[in-house]
Amino acid sequence: MTKLSEESLSHLPPGVARPGYDRSQLSTGIVHFGVGGFHRAHQAMYLDTLMNQGLALDWAICGVGVLPQDAAMKTVLDSQDCLYTLMLKYPDGTREARVIGSIVEYLYAPEDPEAVIEKMALPGTRIVSLTITEGGYSISDTTGEFDAGTPQVAADLAPGAVPSGVFGLVTEALRRRRDRGLGAFTVMSCDNIPGNGEVARKAFGEFARLLDPELGEWVLANVAFPSSMVDRITPVTTDEDRTLLAQEFGVEDAWPVVSEDFAQWALEDTFVQGRPPWEDAGVSVTADVEPFERMKLRLLNCGHQGIAYLGYLAGYRYAHEAVADPKLARFLLDYMDKEATPTLLPVPGVDLDAYKRRLLERFGNEYVRDTLARLCAESSDRIPKWLVPVVRENLARDGEVSRSAAIIAAWARYAEGVDEAGKPINVLDRHREDVMKAAARNREDPLAFVSQPQFFGELAADPRFTGAYLAALDALHSHGAKAAVAGLVDGA
């Protein structure tokens, strides 16, 4: 058994791929907030691919954690010289292990915010990238405007405050760069939000304006905010994964990353101080990300929502179990074909039918063991941004909405907090109290859940949507998820 570290790289078993470059020669070019499993399986992996080609050696990553739970990541990465193992699980059951070396430093902001700020203020830092979750940008789903009242934002805007959140830390670094004549860096969002570049621009620009109007103008005039579409299914790492890595590959890694074999990234080519040659690692660098973004969000992400609540209520606990149900798989395909696809834009070089078939294969990868509980989490940050736009566009074009309405009804039923067997559901959501309070009224006031304007706007006033929603919610209450799905599929 080999404990992962820089010193042990040369002693790893021959079946484990490792960095083919000298990590001592790397220099930091990117500071990344939100070093979770997805970032390590995606952006960091793409950079590692370039570095193995002898490219992008001056674009290594310094990770940053700002949340209390990020302290554990710092402990692990520090103990392993920021190395970790990416273990791919293929649909045929084969596995592949690869050590990633593109992260070279990890800073924990609560311990030393000054170190984080100065790292971003260094001339060599040219990109600050983000995976801070869909809800991390403080943009109201109802108004589309920046919400300065969230606790972390308000704390960072307080006079004399020491920056502690992402907005405060990044904006203070930009202020120092401006005052030192260094120029701005690029802020690159990698979160699953429509128009994530524009969302980041609005959030950081407004935060900076509220802090200092002149600084706000400078940020908007000088910082680039490219949009991106990112895709890779990355379930939460389990102790079983750690044991499997040790037994099969002989690597002791305290926090490996597990992923499917598929990865995709489309990136808008808008950067103020250069970027790595990501296209040489398979990234689609493009002038227009929106077609890729719509395809992914409305097919994959909404597809996940389509199986998550219905599958969980039906008694399944993993994504592959849910899509193995023929009726649920048919429901998912019908949603993608009849409701999502009509709202998409032409995607250069992509066969949508093949893409949808591949999605079913990816969801059905039993070795990834992606939990439905993960897919059900933080729904209030997901459904309003991913699925509600599909509903609105189909209503506007007189298209079909019955399946989208059923997905929302299933969320409402799931948020009641008890499954069909009477067992409690642990609803994970930053708006948990509001969501569960509304769901508790489902039976006495069936429109209570969709009458939350912060999530659904005015959908509760549209009879075409409410008719489909009420029918689905009644079927879920009266007959259960499997029967509700069968009714939608058989009646199509």
**Does 276 lie in the same domain as 300?**
no
Residue 201 pLDDT > 70, yes or no? yes
Q: What average pLDDT does range 344-371 have in this prediction?
A: 95
CA-CA-CA-CA dihedral for 476, 420, 318, 408, to nearest 10: 30
Angle at 46 between CA 40 and CA 48, to 5 degrees: 80
- The Cα–Cα gap between 284 and 350 comes to 12
Percent of the chain with pLDDT over 90: 98
**Does 177 lie in the same domain as 73?**
yes
**Does 282 lie in the same domain as 296?**
no
**Does 281 lie in the same domain as 296?**
no
Q: What average pLDDT does range 376-400 have in this prediction?
A: 97
State pLDDT tens for residues 418-472. Answer: 999 999 999 999 999 999 999 999 999 999 999 999 999 999 999 999 999 999 9
Residue at which a domain ends, from 247, 267, 286: 286
**Does 297 lie in the same domain as 272?**
no
Angle at 354 between CA 351 and CA 356, to 5 degrees: 110
- Check which CATH number belongs to the domain holding 210 and give it: 3.40.50.720
What pLDDT sits at residue 276? 98
Residue 492 binned pLDDT confidence (cut-offs 50, 70, 90): low
State pLDDT tens for residues 38-82. Answer: 999 999 999 999 999 999 999 999 999 999 999 999 999 999 999
What pLDDT sits at residue 469? 98
Number of domains, the chain: 2
Residue at which a domain ends, from 286, 320, 347: 286
Its pTM stands at 0.94
State the CB neighbour count (10 A cutoff) for residue 430.
15
- Check which CATH number belongs to the domain holding 352 and give it: 1.10.1040.10
**Does 215 lie in the same domain as 118?**
yes
- The Cα–Cα gap between 73 and 243 comes to 19
Helix ranges restricted to H, 32-112: 37-41, 43-51, 70-79
Residue at which a domain ends, from 267, 286, 305: 286
**Does 179 lie in the same domain as 129?**
yes
- The Cα–Cα gap between 156 and 133 comes to 19
Q: Which of 170, 147, 230 is closest to 196 using CA atoms?
A: 230
Domain containing 208 equals: 2-286
Residue 141 binned pLDDT confidence (cut-offs 50, 70, 90): confident
**Does 316 lie in the same domain as 209?**
no
**Does 271 lie in the same domain as 336?**
no
Percent of the chain with pLDDT over 70: 100
**Does 309 lie in the same domain as 261?**
no
What pLDDT sits at residue 143? 84
**Does 474 lie in the same domain as 378?**
yes
**Does 301 lie in the same domain as 275?**
no
HEC profile of 134-182: CCCCCECCCCCCECCCCHHHHHHHCCCCCCCCHHHHHHHHHHHHHHHCC
State pLDDT tens for residues 228-246. Answer: 999 999 999 999 999 999 9
State the CB neighbour count (10 A cutoff) for residue 369.
18
What pLDDT sits at residue 396? 97
